[in-house]
Structure 1
Amino acid sequence: MDIRSLGRTLLESEKIYRRQVERAWSSMLDTGEVADGRVRDVIRQSWMRCLHHGVAPVAGRPPLVGNGARLETLRQANEELLLASQNTWQLLADVLADTNSVMIVSDPQGAILDICGTPKLIEKAERSCIKTGHDWSELGAGTNAVGTAIALKRPAEVHSVEHFCAIAQLWSCSAAPIRDMLDGDLLGVIDVTTVAETFNSQSLALVVTAANQIEQTMQSRELGRCVQLLHWYHGSANRWSREALILLDRKGRVVTANDHARVLFENSGAAHALERGRVLLPAGARFSPESCARHMPPQVRLIAVEAYGQQPGWEGGLLIVEPVRRISVGTFERQRPQLREATLETRAPFGEIVGANPQIVELKNRALRMARASAPVLILGETGCGKELFARAIHQASAVRDGPFVAVNCGTLTRELAASELFGYEPGAFTGASAKGRAGKFEEAHGGTLFLDEIGELPLDIQVGLLRVLQDNVVVRLGSNRERQIKVRIIAATNRPLEDDVRASRFRNDLYYRLKVLALKLPPLRERLGDLEALIAGFLGELEAAYGLGARGVDPTLLERLRAYAWPGNVRELRATIESMYVLSDGEVLGIADLPEGFAAPASGPALPEPKPLAPQPAADATLSGLEREAIVAALAAHGGNLSKAARRLGISRSTLYRRLKHYALDRA
């Protein structure tokens, strides 16, 4: 048979097949069923799927799933795919023009992201809803090359009347899926579409080649990003050398993990979660502390996250994790030695701060970001909620972690003592001064961090000196005119409402605004009672190591009692309570009977009888006032006029002592 005869035979065969498909399609409209043997099997199965999903073959039109801002969001989410496909379009532009075809790129769900080709053909295609923002999945547009390639996860071609919906039967199309070469995930689909009369039999081979080229382009860019990500990771890992670290790429997949993390996950029965390429953070999840914490295995607790790149286009990130600390209920169960060892090894700047509460996780993450800067940090929170712990963690995670961490309680400094303590003094600067002089706390902290606790108690004149240090990085000792250059990171903390103090002129507003460049407000324990069990577990572990009195469990009724308490002294009070119980208890399980004397009764306890009103007793009142006055005078005398020490002896705050001095018209001397 000569070539011309073969061509006529093939052409006649195509006409016969087309008539069979037309009859099968008409029969499907009448009966709602697809007859066997009349159409290609791949088309028959696709038609059956479309019938099952209720796609309308005559009136059906691909729905618009994105236009305007929504379409722009879709395109941004698939930016890498579009960039890679543009290179392919430039290479195929002449071929597409010669074959009167358009190239279509869709996302993994079948939404058209881009169409390339001659303007005249694109305009014609748009009349059939072949345009950006329209859904060409099988569910949206019936049988077509894009949707069927997605459904089958392999290349597909659909000719003319093989299309399920009448609106698409003017066209013939070939499509191939584009996959991530690392994990095989579907990234999108590339399609070549032409009018049915000018279909080119080489179109399927063309789109398969184009898909491979796009995959290789995207893989090359992904490998480049991975190299940059690993370079960043090795720099970050030096700051977290004792912690369990997991590096994720921009798709939430595991790139690598250090030995601490592998030991931790192995001991937690989740070693498989750290396999290379394993998705730890699902697609669409934000790289945030709350999101990452939700996707950790139950035995693993997130300490902090460090993102590489900016949301929403972050390129990856670092997870810093540790084991969940648990206490036993009823009887104590020892942790396995390997897990205990991993706990000690993975203690980190923020590992000392216990808490899976989303607010605490976010605070640790914010503090980590603050640690990278050199600006002052102001930590706000009630007494005992962990301000110094956060300050030390920020120091340990900062660039000056190898320098000293010097802590000063400003509430213990008198006006006379504050200047010499903070700024230092020269020999003979004042009566009683050391003959050698002395460096102040600022100089001691040079190259490191100075933590100023209870900053609100600092006298106003000393606040002026502190402001100068912050602005000029110089300190002048008492009795000297020489400026000494220093480099100190300042972290301040207070439990006072500094804004109120500023309004009342008790605190300088210029210093306040200079300090609050980076502010961190810590929640009281009563707002994070979900962390109570983990805190108790940590305290019991520390106490066992410190006292060597053996392990202790916790009775469930005691846990409920502790949760019902308001904890005015916050974490510090909780630790003191647990320490008292641990030391004084004889049993292996701590119970309500072990609570310290005077521990507050639960709110649901029986109400005390109302006291009967007493008649006024002026003499007794006068006597009490006299006793209070005498006690204040005695305390001041015993401590040489030091208000802070006198207040501690009296069991009141310094501000209360000031008010009582004014009330009784007393002088501190």
Structure 2
Amino acid sequence: MNLDGLKKMWEQFIVKGELDERVQPAVAKSWKRCRQYGVDPWSGRGKHIEGNDFKRILIQHQSLLEIAIPIMQSVYEIVKKSHFLLVLTDEQGTILKTIGDDSIQKRSQELVFSEGTSWNTLEVGSNAIGIALDNNMPIQIRGAEHYCVPHHNWTCSAAPIHGLDGRSIGVLDISGNAEEAHPHTLALAVAGAFSIENMMSSVHNSLLMRTALNSSHESIILLNDNFFPIWLNLTAKQTLSLFLPQIAAVDFRKLLPDLDWKMVADWNHKEPLFMTDVRFLTKQSAIHCSVSISSAMSSSGRTYTIALQKQEKLIQSVNKMSGNQAKYTFDDIYTQDPVMQHVITLAQKYAQCDGNILIEGESGTGKELFAQSIHNNSQRSRGPFVAINCASLPRDLIESELFGYEKGAFTGALKEGNPGKFELANHGTLFLDEIGEMPLEFQAKLLRAVETLCIRRIGGKEEKRLDVRIIAATNRNLYREVGLGHFRDDLYFRLNVLPLCVPPLRERPSDISFCAKQFFERLNRRYPYKRKNVAASFFEILKKYSWPGNIRELQNIIERVFYICSSNCISQKDFSYIMDETHSIIEEQESSLTQEREKIIYVLQTGSGSIEAAANSLGVSRATFYRMCKQYKIMPKMIRKQNKCML
């Protein structure tokens, strides 16, 4: 319909109140609304918003303006010869920005159609901006489709701009001479609004990604297809002292020389390439890191994402997952014996320094309890507590367990390599339990590690300096073992800087009933529905037993009595029953062990002392057979000598 036809339909509605069915539904709806609210059809000029209020609105919509203005400039280049005005409004119809030539800007001033003015339906009558906001739809209106007469010489094409949540946050409008109206103008407005929405989504996603990457504990570096850095996260700047643009011209391959960069370039799997121990070279030193590398293709080439984490962080994660933490404190050591209280006081003093500690005491006296308490009372309490039982280490794996190994160091090694217990204990405490069982041939290597706190992985080329406190423990008289030639004197003196001797339970009889009561109270708290009372006779009979297993044996007996006793009161009879049953089991076990020991001696004698023949006869490996011999204190060399003498 031409402009004259639109004028007649408008006059019919304004004068007679009759609405032609050919009027656009959204326009018809808007006309009715204007009539209902008494909008003056002869007015229709915008209203200025006070300066401070408009400044506040601009600040609120700063991100929209930053994204929309470049797009508006691009659209304006298309329509500027037609003398159209580009307009950006907020969700209330407030004009935030206009772009146009002098002539169209001058015309718009006549309508107060300028920045800082309100342009909604109830302020200026039916117009494309107001209808687009009211109905959340793109629309083009021409001439007399505007409700107010001053607008009848204009055509306006408006499209709503939607935020990330789908709600309208503004409008992009293209306005000009009514006689220049063209459907393509509306399409251009819609395309412009869509571009703004897409750019806002991209910026938002980029911001989310950047925020996520900056909050990562890993150092993340993006490289172009020539392996030069193009972006760094905050962690990379802080922990690796990397900054753009200083390293933008640095070939990153030189900083990670241990990587096979050809393999990186050829890597086309979905999952990232991962390596656990590589060197990142700085001007001062080499930082050992784990690295994850992934890549993505785009029209501009391939981008590599490098994620670096200091090996210390990886080791912290391993310690957390492995439970390498101390949970006991001095409050967990139950005693009222003066000698034991003196030992605790001495241990508390030891906790405040960093010297090596040797804890001696019978099995079950709580040597590890002391070690954990010392760690938790020291400045290393936030670091790892790594415990290793030296008696349980197979001879051929001792070095790899303590010092770790590089990738491919030996058959069966993990392809990424593996840190040893010394590395895991860095900035914390390494507890060497049953140190007296350490094989004599390995003690020299251990001595050097204890003295220098430097270790070299199996297959490694460089030494790593560590910050580790050593606490060793033994149930042997280690000084006597030195005299017998079973333990190196230099290692003994290096470990025995701060000696701690934990007395057996039989030497502190007052602790027997005291500790038993503590164990009962703990069980009653844990199982209130099974609460037990304990007769005085029960505690008296406890004192008559020698407790060869010390506190560990006492705790086990208390728990067993608590669980088995069917009455609410535990008495002397319950202890006698438990001990008779326990001794019966022990006798059976000792008989079984004796038979096994005799069998090992027999297969050695019949095989002329051959380890391999004896192990095959028992159906076990050589390593297992050696451990069995060690358990039963059998010396194959002596049996071989005896066989030779008999011959």
TM-score by length of 1: 0.41
TM-score by length of 2: 0.43
